[in-house]
Amino acid sequence: MPPSSADFIFQPIFGNSIFLTKPVLLVFLSVIVAGTFFTLSARKAAIVPSKLQFAGESIYTFVRNGLGKDVIGPEFMRFVPFLFTLFVFILTNNVFGVVPFLQFPSMSHIGFPVGITIFSYIVYHYVAIKKHGLKKYLTDICFMPGIPKPVYLILTPVELLTYLVTRPLTLAMRLFANMFAGHLLLLVFTLGGEYLLTSGLIMKVLSLFSFSFAVGLSFFELGIQCLQAYIFTLLTALYIAGALADEH
C-alpha cells in the first residue's frame, strides 16, 4: 500500500485514550528530553564550560541574541524565556522525525502547531494591547495614517484579516505542512525501496537508489526541521517587535 495521510493516524498504545497515542507521548518525551538536557548542561556551570554546557549555552545564546535582542530590541529580555522554550520545543519534536525507532515529527499533526500558535497569538496581541491600549491598537490596525479615506473600504478588512486570521493561520500551517510533507516523502522512498527489494532482480537493483534517496532526504529533512523551528520563533519575535513599536 502506498503511503498516505492514514500513516499519520495512530491508535492508542495503551487503552483507548487519545492521550496515549504515539504523537502525544512524543510531545511528553520532548519535554523530558529538553528539560533533562538543559538541567544537566547547567548543573555544573563553570567559567571554562564542558562540552555539554557549551552546547546548552550555545542554543540559549543563539535564541537570546539572534531571535531576541536583534529582532525585538531593548525590551527583548523579558521575552527570551518564551522564545527559548518555543524554539527548543519545536526543534525537539521536529527532529524526532529522523531519530531511529521514534521516526515521527510530532508537528506533522496539525493540533500541535495550532496549540503553540495560540500561545504566540495571545502573547503578541497582549503585548500590543498592554502597550498601546485596545482602542489605539485596533484603530492603528483598521485606519493606517496617511491613507485616503476611500482606500479604507478595502484596506481595513484586509488588515483585520491579516492580524486576526492570516498570521496565526500561516504560522501553524507552514510548520505543519513542512513536517507532514517531509515525513511523507521519507515514507515514499523508504517503503518504495522495501517494495522494490521484494520484486525481481532489476527491481532489487533499483531499490538501492530508492534507499539512497531516503538516506539523503533524511539529512535534508533534518535541515528543514531546524529551519522550521527557527522560522516559527523568528516570526513570533517579529510579531512581538511590531506590537512593541511606537509607530504601531
Predicted TM-score (pTM) of the model is 0.91
**Residue 20 burial (CB < 10 Å; 0-12/13-18/19+)?**
middle
CB atoms within 10 A of CB 122: 11
The predicted-structure confidence for 134-156, as pLDDT tens digits, reads as follows: 888 888 888 877 788 888 888 88
Q: How many structural domains are present in the chain?
A: 1
Per the prediction, the chain carries an average pLDDT of 90
Residue 153 lies in a domain: yes
Residue 102 lies in a domain: no
What span, in angstroms and rounded, lies between the C-alpha atoms of 209 and 193? 8
The predicted-structure confidence for 102-121, as pLDDT tens digits, reads as follows: 999 999 999 999 999 999 99
Residue 1 lies in a domain: no
When pLDDT is averaged across residues 11-33 and rounded to a whole number, the result is 90
Enumerate long-range contacts of 109-113, CB under 8 Å, 24 or more apart.
109/8, 109/23, 109/176, 110/172, 110/176, 112/23, 112/27, 113/171, 113/172, 113/173, 113/175, 113/176
The predicted-structure confidence for 219-232, as pLDDT tens digits, reads as follows: 999 999 999 999 99
Residue 235 lies in a domain: yes
**Grid coordinates in use for 218?**
533524511
How would DSSP label each residue in 130-166? HHH-HHHHHHHHHS-TT--GGGHHHHHHHHHHIIIII
Residue 104 lies in a domain: no
Residue 201 lies in a domain: yes
pLDDT of residue 155: 87
Instruction: Evaluate whether 34 touches 88 at the Cβ level (below 8 Å).
Output: yes
Residue 29 lies in a domain: yes
Range scoring the smallest mean pLDDT among 2-16, 21-35, 86-100, 215-229: 2-16
Domain ranges, residue 68: 11-97+109-244
The more confident residue out of 177 and 203 is 177
Residue 172: pLDDT above 70?
A: yes
What span, in angstroms and rounded, lies between the C-alpha atoms of 15 and 24? 14
